[in-house]
Amino acid sequence: MQRERSALPRVYISRKVPPEGLDIIRQSGQVQFELWDSDDPVPRSELLQKVKGVDGLLCMLTEKVDAELLDAAGSPNLKVLSTMSVGFDHLCLDELKKSRGIRVGYTPDVLTDAVAELTIALLLATSRRLIEATHEAKTGGWGTWRTLWLCGYELANSTVGILGLGRIGLSIAERLKPFKVKKFIYTDVAPQPELAEKINAEYVSLEELANQSDFLAVCCALTPETQGICNRKLFSQMKKNAIFINTSRGGTVNQEDLYEALSTGQIAGAGLDVTTPEPLPTDHPLFKVKNCVILPHIASATYTTRNAMSALAANNLLAGLRGEPMAKELKL
Ligand code: DGY
């Protein structure tokens, strides 16, 4: 027998979600939902209003889930939080752990390929100066063929350093291997022998990672330990020919220190898909240095992946509300 609509659990969805996810929720008949039907984030005040008394919240990485929001939702109504992201630094875990009994779903794995692909694209765009090159070609800077004009750095025979060897770091390394990388090194909170074995990567200290890497890719989660881990000290230990790539979270980087490293030639270039804040103001100094390529947080932006993320987020939400195991649940 169909339950009365008003008896169904209430869910708030904080953004226009790709169709696969929305269809799953709609067709489940399991919840009544309200959606912030926009590509832009829901204003905080609206969110705080809308979450009052809901059983479930499906949110994006732009929504800070903290004590204020959890209090607004009210206990014990809110049972499930499902974020359409692999990153969960926007969730205040300490608050969620505080015996509120809320279960949390997230979307790892389904975006690994897309993020790894984009990281390779960004790395090559940065190291081979593609953005500068197209600009020169379009604006008359292209004179004749010149011997050292727009030269960059190649992956062949290089050492690639991975800061945070998880699923994404591994996928990046696997894709870089055919470019004839000489050596992979990595650092993390602890050695990851099973993953490292697949790419024959050596575990090193953060200092050694900086010292040895020709390409350094940041792939770690943003935590209190990794906040600002890429700072003046790290950049000063890097090679002058090094290329720095970040597709994790902007908060891992001290941007003032990065600007100094780039503008003084301390390192050769940086490719960033993530910044602090997002969007990065258009007058930010990092936009002014030619050796910095900045993308607007698009690593997972393929139709397939964003749909898969929305489907996983929807299924996590519904499973949680049924009291069943979620496909991907965060251990709080
Ligand atoms: C995530 O999911 O955390 C990514 O940063 C966005 O795709």
The pLDDT tens digits for 14-43 are 999 999 999 999 999 999 999 999 999 999
Please indicate whether residue 312, judged by its CB atom, sits closer than 6 Å to ligand 1: no
Question: Ligand 1 pocket check: which of 86, 246, 328 to mutate, most ligand atoms within 8 Å of Cβ?
Answer: 86
Residue nearest (by alpha carbon) to ligand 1 atom 2:
85
In ligand 1, the atom with minimum distance to the C-alpha of 87 is: 3
Residue 330 has pLDDT above 80, yes or no: yes
Residue 2 has pLDDT above 70, yes or no: no
Residue 5 has pLDDT above 90, yes or no: no
Question: Ligand 1 pocket check: which of 83, 111, 310 to mutate, most ligand atoms within 8 Å of Cβ?
Answer: 111
pLDDT at residue 3, as a whole number: 55
185: β partners? 161, 202
At 114-134, the pLDDT tens digits run 999 999 999 999 999 999 999
Query: Residues 186, 95: one domain?
Result: no
In a domain, 331, yes or no: no
At 57-71, the pLDDT tens digits run 999 999 999 999 999
Residue 12 has pLDDT above 60, yes or no: yes
Q: Which domain holds residue 142?
A: 112-294
pLDDT band at 76 (very low <50, low <70, confident <90, very high): confident
At 252-309, the pLDDT tens digits run 999 999 999 999 999 999 999 999 999 999 999 999 999 999 999 999 999 999 999 9
pLDDT at residue 67, as a whole number: 95
Cis peptide before 108 (omega within 30 of 0): no
At 83-93, the pLDDT tens digits run 999 999 999 99
pLDDT at residue 4, as a whole number: 59
Query: Residues 175, 289: one domain?
Result: yes
Please indicate whether residue 87, judged by its CB atom, sits closer than 6 Å to ligand 1: yes
pLDDT at residue 101, as a whole number: 87
In a domain, 327, yes or no: no
As annotated, the active-site residues are 297
When pLDDT is averaged across residues 156-174 and rounded to a whole number, the result is: 98
In a domain, 155, yes or no: yes
Residue nearest (by alpha carbon) to ligand 1 atom 4:
85
Q: Could you tell me the CATH number of the domain that includes residue 236?
A: 3.40.50.720
Ligand 1 centre to CA of 20 (Å) is 18
Q: What is the mean pLDDT of the chain?
A: 96
In a domain, 226, yes or no: yes
pLDDT band at 1 (very low <50, low <70, confident <90, very high): very low
Question: Ligand 1 pocket check: which of 17, 115, 273 to mutate, most ligand atoms within 8 Å of Cβ?
Answer: 115
CB of 70 within 8 A of CB of 98? no
Domain count across the chain: 2
Query: Residues 102, 216: one domain?
Result: no
In a domain, 183, yes or no: yes
Q: pLDDT over 70 for what percent of the chain?
A: 98
Ligand 1 centre to CA of 85 (Å) is 5
In a domain, 170, yes or no: yes
Ligand 1 centre to CA of 80 (Å) is 20
CB of 40 within 8 A of CB of 63? no
Residue nearest (by alpha carbon) to ligand 1 atom 5:
87
pLDDT at residue 75, as a whole number: 73
- Residues near 233 by Cβ (< 8 Å), separated by ≥ 6? none
When pLDDT is averaged across residues 153-178 and rounded to a whole number, the result is: 98
